[in-house]
Structure 1
Amino acid sequence: MPRGQIQVVYEEPDARIVVMDSLTFCDARVGPGDVVIAGSFAGATAFAFALERRVRGLVAHAAGVGKDSAGISGLAFADRFAVPAAAVETMSARLGDGQSVFEQGIVAYANATARALDVHARVSTVEAAYRLVKAGPGRVTANAVLVERRQRVVLERDGGRVVLLGSTSFVDATNGSDVLCVGSHGGRVNALPLLVAPPRGVIFNDGGMARDRSGMGGLATLDEIGVPAATVDAMSARIGDPESAWHTGVISARNEAAARLGVLIGQPAREAGEAMLAPRH
């Protein structure tokens, strides 16, 4: 789907099922009657975008589950607000592709609120979505602020910085000389904002790679404009947590632009970030 698009696949007077590639697309178009199916990882930091809109239910991607089960940490987070949520099996659907999650996804994990609606492992996303339509209202208060948007500088050198960001959707014009270490998966949808405001380099999480190696799909997109990009292994760092990526991440994939700077598979993310930050001649 085009960036930012949401697709309504079912609608009745007080409920809808909406599909989107990223939960960062949750804006005024999304509201309390909606069951949201997204290509995002099912972590707390991703779910926060939808929970701020007080959605009825959520299905997203397990993204390899990963270190400390960060890929599905949103399930317990949603339970706190009585919002049913599920995550599809990593290899069943493409990361960053809401249509794939909806049409191909098979539920692997569900929270207690979802299980009470008979959403459980081995149910298709389509079946799960229609069951979640029956959910009652959650307990998210109006105007709740759940998304952490701040930027954190962890390294500064002449001519550039390494900046930690929860999501590539937070990138702005001030980041043009920065290497970004982000909590986002490396799917194409998360590379697209960087085409508008290209950084010096970027390090993502690979989200367990997922179907069709979609968890690193954005690396080739960034190669086209000469931006060095790499992913860290989902088992080495918590997806959604850029500090974890920076401190414990291990590079699992890189694009050609990053390889030319000496970024290596198996290298600590900190070393890769410093290589991207080094002066270029």
Structure 2
Amino acid sequence: MADVAPLVVDSVTHLDAAARGRVTCCGSHGGVYAAWYAARHGVAGLLLHDAGIGRERAGVGGIFWLESRFVPAAAVAHDSARIGDGADMLARGVLSNVNAPGSALGLVIGMKASVALDLLVAARLPAAEAPGGMDEARQVIDDTGPAQVVALDSNGLVGPEDAGRIIVTGSHGGLLGGRKGSAVKADVLAAIYNDAGIGIDRAGLSRLPALAERGIAAATVSAFSARIGDAMSSWEDGYISALNEPAELRGACVGLSTREFVAKMLESL
């Protein structure tokens, strides 16, 4: 039962066996993939980031997916705390969306995240039941050009094998806990993220300068053009909202579609 202090992490990808039965405050976006990942680790209650809510309300879709599994959950407003920063969510976060199990425990929109976590801990909640699998979160979009183009629902799926590739992700464009090393785990040619509504301190774009320092072209798509957490939506629906200097030098600009941005990256090789 969740009768200990809440677990605070910057990303669901940091969860491990210690998360089981714990109320968790997590800097990840509130999309279904993040909620599924947290449920797989048996969290008892969950706060995520609303990522600007965005297209089809994808930024909070996960908390309502958890509702069907009777897991209390809420999302913190993107203009109240930095995405990718669990500690900042705990310190400054204000709830923007609450699911029904959360409401039943007294969570309300406008409540401070710290108060919401106290209520969830006091409820002594059981661990979430493990969900079934999800569709494949990685797929090759194009391997006919000078660099392979890969779609990944989460930046956490990037591995050494992705060096030199163009990655189109469903992840937000924020550094985890402000750490530059979290930007991407491989020296990719170019990377695309979701701007998560940009948000307070422009946190939804903070990967871009960190990647520029490594010479990696990077851009974000608007959260209102593509569903966060869904790399294929970034590919099919996304429009560039921000980019870094290496991407500009390769001919990209704000307003391009993701496909056009990728074409610019390939043409520059």
TM-score by length of 2: 0.93
1:166 match? 153
Report if aligned partners of 1:84, 1:135 keep a CA contact under 8 Å in 2.
Answer: no
C-alpha spacing 1:222/1:102, structure 2 compared with 1 (3 Å): same
Q: What is the DSSP-based 3-state SS (H/G/I as helix, E as strand, rest coil) of the residue aligned with 1:115?
A: helix
Quote the sequence identity (%). Answer: 35
2:169 counterpart of 1:182: yes
Following superposition, the deviation at residue 278 of structure 1 comes to 2.9
Higher normalized contact order (CA 8 Å, seq sep 6+, divided by chain length): 2
Following superposition, the deviation at residue 138 of structure 1 comes to 5.1
C-alpha spacing 1:21/1:69, structure 2 compared with 1 (3 Å): same
Q: How many residue pairs align between the two structures? A: 266
Following superposition, the deviation at residue 236 of structure 1 comes to 0.3
2:74 counterpart of 1:86: yes
1:261 match? 250
Gaps of 5+ in 1: 1-11
C-alpha spacing 1:177/1:254, structure 2 compared with 1 (3 Å): same
2:266 match? 277
1:107 match? 95
Following superposition, the deviation at residue 158 of structure 1 comes to 3.5
2:70 counterpart of 1:72: no
1:50 match? 38
Following superposition, the deviation at residue 192 of structure 1 comes to 3.6
Q: Which moved more, 1:256-265 or 1:154-163?
A: 154-163
2:16 match? 27
Q: Which moved more, 1:147-156 or 1:266-275?
A: 147-156
Indicate which of 131, 142, 146 corresponds to 2:119: 131
C-alpha spacing 1:53/1:41, structure 2 compared with 1 (3 Å): same
1:87-236 aligned at under 5 Å gives the runs 87-133=75-121, 134-137=123-126, 139-141=128-130, 144-146=131-133, 150-189=137-176, 192-193=181-182, 195-236=184-225
Give the Cα–Cα distance (whole angstroms) in 2 for the partners of residues 132 and 219 of structure 1: 35
Report if aligned partners of 1:20, 1:97 keep a CA contact under 8 Å in 2.
Answer: yes
Give the Cα–Cα distance (whole angstroms) in 2 for the partners of residues 48 and 176 of structure 1: 28
Give the Cα–Cα distance (whole angstroms) in 2 for the partners of residues 183 and 115 of structure 1: 29
Gaps of 5+ in 2: none
Report if aligned partners of 2:221, 2:258 keep a CA contact under 8 Å in 1.
Answer: yes
Kindly report the root-mean-square deviation, in angstroms, between the aligned alpha carbons of the 2 structures. Answer: 1.8
Give the Cα–Cα distance (whole angstroms) in 2 for the partners of residues 75 and 206 of structure 1: 20
Write the letter of the residue equivalent to 2:17: A
